[in-house]
């Protein structure tokens, strides 16, 4: 098994979040993209404004690394129109994977039709353009019942509206990695949350994101059944070391 093909190598910090200048953050992004090319990771996950640069670097290197980006990140609370516009722009710039943050707060408020429509329209846009779509549900913001309900909702929308051959291209993803928890509780993928997601998202694949920092943790997630792992520690994981990154 080639663990690299499970790894979505990730860098999603703004310059402000990284406490660096805008130019310095561009260089960090360039280095992250180059690292993905050099190591042959499945995908480089970056912010939308970096997609065009990544496309050129990967094309120039004649690399098979694919490009993922995040939509309505990290809160997922903007309008459907915003999500669709941001996604279309990312498609135009060369993104292969679109990781949408579902409006999980609206879901918790019982706005089920809003969520169903969001999932339907955004998934349709991605699939119509031959892209992979992932729905970030932010497990740290949800209780077990809400994780079950949101996974089931996404699954039902996809199964009811798209072809069986397309299911493998619509993921349910655990986390943004940016959610602020209390008392230092995990803000990303935990074994418990991933097990619930796998049970309630099938036949849709699951991506574990946030908190996977070493080879053993990555292998545990793969053995559970996840198809992708989002991590800022991809190089460290492949080299068998322990990362100190939060994501």
The model's pLDDT over 93-134, given as tens digits with 9 standing for 90+, comes to 999 999 999 999 999 999 999 999 999 999 999 999 999 999
C-alpha distance from residue 97 to each of 57, 66, 214, 220 (Å): 17, 8, 24, 24
Backbone angles phi, psi at 68, to 5 degrees: -115, 150
pLDDT confidence band for 246 (50 / 70 / 90): low
Fold of 3-239: TIM Barrel (3.20.20)
How far apart CA 194 and CA 156 sit, in angstroms, is 18
Hey, what are 94's tokens?
């060369």
Average pLDDT of span 195-200: 98
Judge whether 173 counts as a catalytic residue. Answer: yes
pLDDT of residue 244: 64
Alpha-helical (H) ranges within 1-50 are 15-18, 22-39
pLDDT of residue 183: 80
User: At which residue do the structure tokens 């699951």 appear?
Assistant: 206
- Which residues on neighbouring strands pair with residue 170, listed in sequence order? 133
Average pLDDT of span 170-187: 91
CB atoms inside a 10 Å sphere around CB 39: 15
**Best CA proximity match to 231, nearest among 197, 207, 206:** 207
Strand residue runs (E) in 89-136: 97-101, 132-136
Single out the catalytic residue among 13, 134, 173, 235: 173
C-alpha distance from residue 36 to each of 19, 41, 164, 221, 234 (Å): 23, 5, 31, 21, 9
Judge whether 207 counts as a catalytic residue. Answer: yes
- pLDDT tens-digit series, residues 15-60: 999 999 999 999 999 999 999 999 999 999 999 999 999 999 999 9
Average pLDDT of span 193-201: 98
Q: Are 142 and 185 in contact (CB under 8 A)?
A: no
Average pLDDT of span 169-190: 92
Single out the catalytic residue among 8, 42, 99, 131: 99
pLDDT of residue 241: 74
SS3 135: strand
- pLDDT tens-digit series, residues 69-91: 999 999 999 999 999 999 999 99
Judge whether 92 counts as a catalytic residue. Answer: no
């Amino acid at each position: 098994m080639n663990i690299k093909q499970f790894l979505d190598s990730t860098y999603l910090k703004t310059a402000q979040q990284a406490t660096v200048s805008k130019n310095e953050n561009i260089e960090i992004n360039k280095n992250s993209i180059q690292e993905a090319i050099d190591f042959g990771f499945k995908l480089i996950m970056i912010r939308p404004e970096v997609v065009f640069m990544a496309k050129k670097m990967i094309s120039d290197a004649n690399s098979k690394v694919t490009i993922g980006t995040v939509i309505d990140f990290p809160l997922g609370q903007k309008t459907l129109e915003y999500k669709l516009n941001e996604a279309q722009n990312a498609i135009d710039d060369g993104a292969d994977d679109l990781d949408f943050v579902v409006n999980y707060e609206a879901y918790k408020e019982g706005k089920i039709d809003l969520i169903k429509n969001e999932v339907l329209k955004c998934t349709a846009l991605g699939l119509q353009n031959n892209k992979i779509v992932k729905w970030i549900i932010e497990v740290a913001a949800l209780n077990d019942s809400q994780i079950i309900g949101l996974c089931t909702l996404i699954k039902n929308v996809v199964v009811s509206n798209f072809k069986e051959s397309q299911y493998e291209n619509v993921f349910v993803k655990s986390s943004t990695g940016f959610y602020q928890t209390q008392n230092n509780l995990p803000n990303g993928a935990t074994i418990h949350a991933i097990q619930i997601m796998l049970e309630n998202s099938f036949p849709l694949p699951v991506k574990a994101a946030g908190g996977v920092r070493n080879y053993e943790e990555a292998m545990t997630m793969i053995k559970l059944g996840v198809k992708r792992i989002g991590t800022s520690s991809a190089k460290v994981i492949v080299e068998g070391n322990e990362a100190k990154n939060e994501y």
